[in-house]
Amino acid sequence: MIEGIISAILAGLLLGLYALPEKYTKGFEYENTWGLFFLITMFIVPLISSYILLDGLKIFALIESQTLIKMGVASLLWGIGIIMWGKAINHIGLSLGFSIFIGTLILIGSLIPWFIDSTGGFGMNFPSFKVLSTILCGLVVVLFGVVFNGRAGILREKDDEPSGDAKGSMASGIMIAVIGGVLATAFSYANTIGKESFIHAALACNLPAWKASIGVMNVIYVSGGCAALFYFFSTLTAQKRWGHFRSENIRINTLLILVMSAFNYIASVTFSYAASALGPEAGGTVGYAIFNAMSVLTATVAGLIVGEWRKASSKAKKFLYIGLLGMIIGIVIISIGNGLR
């Protein structure tokens, strides 16, 4: 139990910090930094990890093509959502971009399993009234937190730009984070229809059941990476920013982006292990709460440390803190609801 809790805390810490190195790249535009990040994270890291953690690619040959196709299509939408997440972080900062995106993801993603079965078909699958009402209460509290975070962002922008010249910037960034969060819930769909098949395949390959999540994640990453690759190739070409890769800072920038990729991927793998170590019940409740709450808390604190809120008024910070507290309480309530099943 202790091992699982520590792993969930570590996973949340890593995910909350993964985008921080982006702030220290020099001579790169948004498209350069995130384009290279997606290339490494979505293709290079999953392929290497498959050979190391899954003993090669044989597990994927045991999955029905229909399942892989459904996962792939959903993952393309997830990939677009993750692109928008990176854009939101670049646009409105680590703390807001992270909390609003994750909050939206939790709001919508928690509902998807109620309407999707393990084959990917649509159908009502509501839990008992006690579970349903508890989870819905948690979602309302999370929504409360997201709204307060959004308000904090608007107030922060007014403090940064008293003249109102950049009024649309924060609103646009918040909208990007929300839409990205909605699209990224396709991860939940892909995971729902792929998890059972990958568990059977993992056991057939004499792998521990928790490694099935790595197989699922790799399909999602590679498929979503196709959307990212197309987007960044197009924008780098259209805006003529390929030349930035010849920057004198290319080595340190690449190192920073490698750290981003490592933190992002290791966070996912570590949470998969944490959920397994905590057991089928606690993994989806205690582990879920610790992982998400820790990631949002870490990203917010990191944003404060690097000065994103340096010019913000006490009122803006108050909205941020209330929103953050609301999200964490909501996540805990949702986890309690899941534990009542």
State CA 238 to chain mean position distance. 28
List Cβ neighbours of 309 (8 Å cut-off, separation of 6 or more): 95, 156, 303, 316, 317, 320
Least confident among 12-16, 167-171, 311-315, 329-333: 167-171
pTM: 0.84
Would the pLDDT of 198 be above 90? yes
Q: Is the pLDDT of residue 283 over 80?
A: no
Q: What is the pLDDT of residue 119?
A: 64
- In this predicted structure, the answer to whether residue 232 has a pLDDT above a threshold of 60 is yes
Q: Identify any residues that bridge with 116 across adjacent strands, giving them in sequence order.
A: 122
Q: pLDDT digit string (tens) for 4-28?
A: 888 889 999 999 999 999 989 999 9
Nearest to 86 by CA among 25, 147, 142: 25
By CB atoms closer than 10 A (0-12, 13-18, 19+), residue 105 is buried
- How far apart are alpha carbons 251 and 162 in whole angstroms? 38
Provide the pLDDT for residue 108: 82
Opening angle at CA 227, ends 225 and 82, nearest 5: 70
118-161 per-position pLDDT tens digit: 666 777 777 788 888 998 898 899 888 888 988 888 888 887 76
CA separation, residue 86 to residues 181, 247, 301 (Å): 11, 21, 18
Closest Cα to residue 145, out of 188, 85, 184, 104? Answer: 104
